[in-house]
Structure 1
C-alpha cells in the first residue's frame, strides 16, 4: 500500500495553472527524492499532500485512506520553519507539544531534540541559531507527533557542507532506525544522489518520470557507443547475438549499447561479420546531465 498517492492533481492560482494532471506514488520506507527546478511546482505539490493547499482538481490519498485522516501522520518542514525566535529549542518544541495536547510532552520534547542533536543548546535562543540549527529545530517540530512520513521542502538550502552532511545523515538515520518514510524536494542533485532510494522528477507542473535509485544507476552506467557504415544491418546482427544487451539507435547512425554486454565480444562479432566500424568507444553518463534533461521537460534522455 502506498503511503502517498497523488492522482490527477492540479492547482491554479489567479488563472495560472502551476500543477497539472500530476501523479505521484510514494511507498513505505522510501527516501523519495522529489526533483525539479525552482518554480516547477514542488512546493505546491507538497502543500497539497499535507493539506495546506486545496487542489483545484484531483486527489491525494494517504495510507490507502482519506487524506484528512492521514494528514495527522505526516510531519512537515516546508519553506522556513516556524520558530519563535525569543524561545529556546526546548521552549519551541514544548509550545507545539502543548498545542498538540501531548500527554507525555516533556519526554517527547527531550526525545526529538536528542534525535536532531539539539539537546545540548540549553538557554540559547533560537534567534541566535545558525541556519543548520534552525533547520534541525524545524525538523524536531515536524517529528513531535511521531509521524510515519516526513515532507521536507528544500531542506539543504543555504546550508554549508558540514550542515548539509549532518542533516543528510539525520534523515537517513530517521529512515533506517525509526522506519520514517521521507519525501525530500530539492534541486541539489549531488545531495539526493547520496541517499535517495527513489525519485520523482517534476517539470512545468507535470510528473515527468518516477524511478528507483537502481534504475537511475542503470541509466547512467557505462555504455558503449558504436557507429558503423551499415547501422541497420549491424543493429539486427547485434540484437540477435546479444539478447541481454539494450540497443538504442540514433539518427547519426550510432548505436548506444547498455544493459548486459561484453565490449570485446561485440567488437569481435562486428569484425567477424565484415562490419565497417567508424566509432567504438565507452562512455559514462553524468547523473546531473541525466536529471537536468528530465527537469527541462522530459526531452529524450
Structure 2
C-alpha cells in the first residue's frame, strides 16, 4: 500500500510537557483518514509538524516518501493544502481576492482555476461580499478553497466543523467527500466529533496522550461495531442448533442468552424455535457507535 504520510516514533516536547510521545501513523494514498482524539490528545500538534509549522523533538515525519530533514521536503509540502486551527483568510477581501492573493504567495503565473475552486466550495456567487461578512461555515469553505489553490493532492483539515451549525456541517462533509471522490485528494481530517467522522472516513487513527493507540480501516471498524441481536430464549442449546442449521454466526452468553450477528429472518427463526419447543422471551438489536468504540478502546470517557 502506498502512503502519503508516515510518521515514525514522533515526539514533541514543550519544556516538561510531552505533547507527542512516540506517535507512529500511516495515511494511505486516496483515503479520508479520520484522526480521532479528545481535545488536548495531540492532534493539532501532529498536524503542525506535518505542515512544517514546527519541528519534532525526535522521530521522523515522512511525506510522499521524503523525510522532514531532507532538503526536498519543501517540494513535498507544496503538494499539500491545509487548514490548521482557523482558516487563513483575509477578512477585508472577497473570496476571489483571497484566492488571488494565495496565488501570488505561491508564485503561480496566473489566476486560472480560481473560478473552478470557488464553484467547487460553493462560493461562486459571493461577488464583492467581504469575508468578514461570511458565516462561519462560509469562512471554513473559503479556508479550504485557499488550501486548494495550487492543486494539492493531500489536504489536511484540523477540526473543520467546530462551531458550525447543522447545515454548515453537512456542507463541509459533502465537500470533503467530493474532493476525495472526484479529485482523488487524500484527506487527513482531525475531529473529536466522532459521529461526523464515521460518515466520511475510510481509515481511522485513534490518538490518546500523544500516541496512536489503534489504526484501522472503516471496514475493520464496521466489523468491530457491527450490528448484533441480543436474544433471550428458554434453551440456548436449541437456539444454537437452529442457528447452525441456518448458517448464522452467533455467540452464546449463557444457558438462555446469545448474540446473533448478521441479517436474520426474525419470523423464520421464531417459527423454527417454536417447532423445537424453544420460547423466545426477548430480542433486541444493538450496534456500537464510533464514540462507544472509542470510549471502550481508551477505557475512559468521551470528550465530545
State the TM-score bracket (shorter-chain normalisation): 0.7 to 0.9
- How far apart, CA to CA, are the structure 2 residues paired with 1:243 and 1:188? 38
For 2:294, the equivalent position in structure 1 comes to 291
Aligned counterparts of 1:179 and 1:35: Cα–Cα separation in 2:
22
Q: CA deviation at 1:5?
A: 0.7
Say what the alpha-carbon RMSD is for the aligned residues. 3.5
Report how far residue 224 of structure 1 moved. 5.2
Deviation at 1:65, TM superposition (A): 2.4
1:82: how far off? 1.7
Partner SS state of residue 107, structure 1: coil
Contact 1:6–1:23 (8 Å) recurs in 2:
yes
1:203–1:294 CA contact under 8 A, matched in 2: no
Q: How much does 1:177 deviate? A: 0.8
Correspondent of 2:140 among 123, 135, 147: 135
Q: Secondary structure at the match of 1:3?
A: strand
How big is the shift at 1:137? 0.6
Is structure 2 residue 121 aligned with structure 1 residue 116?
A: yes
Can you list the C-alpha shifts for 1:242-294, whole angstroms capped at 9, x where unaligned? 999586989xxx876657999999xx99xx9xxxx9x9855423312112323
- Matched position secondary structure for 2:61: strand
Give the gaps of 5 or more residues in structure 1.
232-236
CA distance in 2, matches of 1:226, 1:150: 45
The CA deviation at 1:161 is 0.9
**Counterpart in 1 of 2:4?**
3
Partner of 2:93: 87
Q: Structure 1 residues 91, 295: closer, same or farther in 2, change over 3 A?
A: farther
In structure 2, C-alpha distance between the alignment counterparts of 1:135 and 1:174, rounded to whole Å? 15
Alignment of 1:1-301 (within 5 A): 1-67=2-68, 68=73, 69-104=75-110, 106-223=111-228, 245=249, 283-287=285-289, 288-296=291-299
1:7–1:23 contact (8 Å) kept in structure 2: yes
Q: Contact between 1:85 and 1:125, CA under 8 Å: does it hold in 2?
A: yes
Q: Distance in 2 between matches of 1:146 and 1:57?
A: 31
| TM-score normalised by structure 1 residue count | 0.82
- Secondary structure at the counterpart of residue 147 of structure 1: coil
State TM-score, norm by structure 2. Answer: 0.81
Alpha-carbon distance between aligned partners in 2 of 1:247 and 1:45, rounded to the nearest angstrom: 40
Q: CA deviation at 1:11?
A: 0.9
How many matched pairs? 292
What is the CA–CA distance in structure 2 between the aligned matches of 1:283 and 1:20, rounded to whole Å?
A: 40
Extract unaligned runs of 5+ from structure 2.
Answer: none
How far 1:92 sits from its partner (Å)?
1.2
The 8 Å contact of residues 60 and 67 in structure 2, kept in 1 or not, is answered as: no
Q: 1:208 to 1:226 in 2, by over 3 A?
A: farther
Structure 1 CA distance, aligned partners of 2:197 and 2:91?
A: 30
Structure 1 ranges of 4+ moved more than 4 A: 224-228, 240-250, 254-265, 279-283, 295-298
Segment drifting more, 77-86 vs 61-70: 61-70
TM-superposed CA distance for 1:190, in Å, is 1.6
